[in-house]
Amino acid sequence: MDELLSVADLETRFRTPEGEVAAVAGVSFAIDPGESLGVVGESGSGKSQVFLSIMGLLAKNGRCSGQVRFRGEDILGLPAARLNALRGSRMSMIFQDPMTSLNPYLTVSRQLTEVVVEHLGLSRDQARARALEALERVGLPDPAARIDLYPHAFSGGMRQRVMIAMAILCQPELLIADEPTTALDVTIQAQILDLMRVLKRESNTATVIITHDLGVVAGLCDQVMVMYAGRLVETGSVREIFYQPRHPYTRGLLRAMPRLDDIQDGLLDTIPGQPPNLQALPPGCAYQERCPQVYPRCRSERPELRILGPRRGVACHLELGP
């Protein structure tokens, strides 16, 4: 078993005043060392919660069950004290919103050095040198002059670079980037994606890129996982997902993707309709209301993820017939 991370039957539920919400339901997947996985889906499909569950960072009202193994060791639901040996050093996470994800009351140098002081036991001076080196690597201009500033002196793009520097300080085996570019403007987005690509090439770190933009996945990932309403609806290699999509939702996402060669009509087909309310899921397939190919079986029987190959799966009744 040389998988870096393997997840089986992950379920994440939130208690809310209106009842329980299953934000993630029965998700299974695996990541090999050095591999790059893209996780795609619309807002609210449970992408973030899968990885927050794995990192032990769920909100207070959240509970998760299932099995998560990191290098063979079961880590799901470990107490924070045990997880802390892994978090920030062997697996780290970059968040969606760089403007609020850094502590406004501590200098950037403090926020970086504390990671290596905690995990590697470096001295203050060594930690500072390490932090400067990481800031250099992520392309922060003039790090020596900026490292002692507070985050509010940084733009969104610079803050995201700081977040990335923080995540790679201990050379993690797994780096999870939760929509690292969504909150940034387009030119900065491209720069950050370039940076992610360079980091991927230069290190043996496995990466997870969470995004709702299939275009991001195309340039960065080996494997793709498509999520809908808390479930995995299709997995495959980037080539398979782009050239032989099997799930109507994946096809919808692909049609909604802006492309340079899309010159026929210049119009994008966004998927009509809204994702379903997780608290009132219909029986059968969660995508039925929006699916162009829906047929009676879809309304009564929920399609399980069918394994088509070692890293290939789809959850749809279509090819099975009635």
Ligand X SMILES: Nc1ncnc2c1ncn2[C@@H]1O[C@H](COP(=O)(O)OP(=O)(O)OP(=O)(O)O)[C@@H](O)[C@H]1O
Interaction site with other proteins (CB under 8 A): 55-57, 59-60, 80-81, 83-89, 92-93, 95, 97, 100-106, 114-115, 118-119, 149-150, 152-153, 163, 166
Using alpha carbons only, give the angle 34, 35, 39 rounded to the nearest 5 degrees.
140
**Are 86 and 79 in contact, with CB atoms under 8 Å apart?**
no
Report, in Å, the least distance between residue 39 CB and other proteins: 17
Is the Cβ of residue 1 or residue 59 nearer to other proteins in the bound state? Answer: 59
Query: Least separation, in Å, of the C-beta of 212 and ligand SF4?
Result: 18
Cβ closest to ligand X, residue 172 vs residue 230: 230
Q: Is 95 in the site for ligand X (CB under 6 A)?
A: no
Contact range with Mg ion by CB under 5 A, out of 44-52, 143-151, 194-202, 264-272: 44-52
CA–CA–CA angle 204, 209, 275 (5° rounding): 160
Site membership for Mg ion, residue 48 (CB under 5 A): yes
Distance (Å, whole) CA 159 – CA 170:
19
HSE, CB side, 13 Å, CA atoms: give it for residue 305. 24
Sequence-ordered list of residues with C-beta below 8 angstroms from that of 12, at least 6 positions apart, any chain: 22, 23, 24, 46, 49, 50, 53, 58, 62, 63, 64, 230
Residue 47 as a binder of ligand X (CB under 6 A): the answer is yes
Give SS3 for 204. coil
Residues 143, 160: Cα–Cα separation, whole Å: 14
**Smallest separation, CB 110 to other proteins (Å):** 8
Min CB(104)–other proteins separation in Å: 7
Is residue 45 close enough to count as binding ligand X by CB under 6 A? yes
How many residues make contact with ligand X (CB under 6 A)? Answer: 17
**CA torsion, points 246, 250, 222, 10, in degrees to nearest 10?**
-90
220 binds, among Mg ion, ligand SF4, other proteins, none (CB under 5 to 8 A by kind): none
Of the pair 112, 177, the CB lying nearest ligand X is at: 177
Give the interface with ligand SF4 as residue ranges (CB under 6 A): 248, 285, 287-288, 291, 293-294, 298, 303, 316-318
- Are residues 230 and 23 in contact, defined by beta-carbon separation less than 8 angstroms? yes
**CA–CA distance, 254 with 156 (Å, rounded to integer):** 29
Q: Which is nearer to Mg ion, 44 or 313 (CB)?
A: 44
* Binding stretches for Mg ion (CB under 5 A): 48
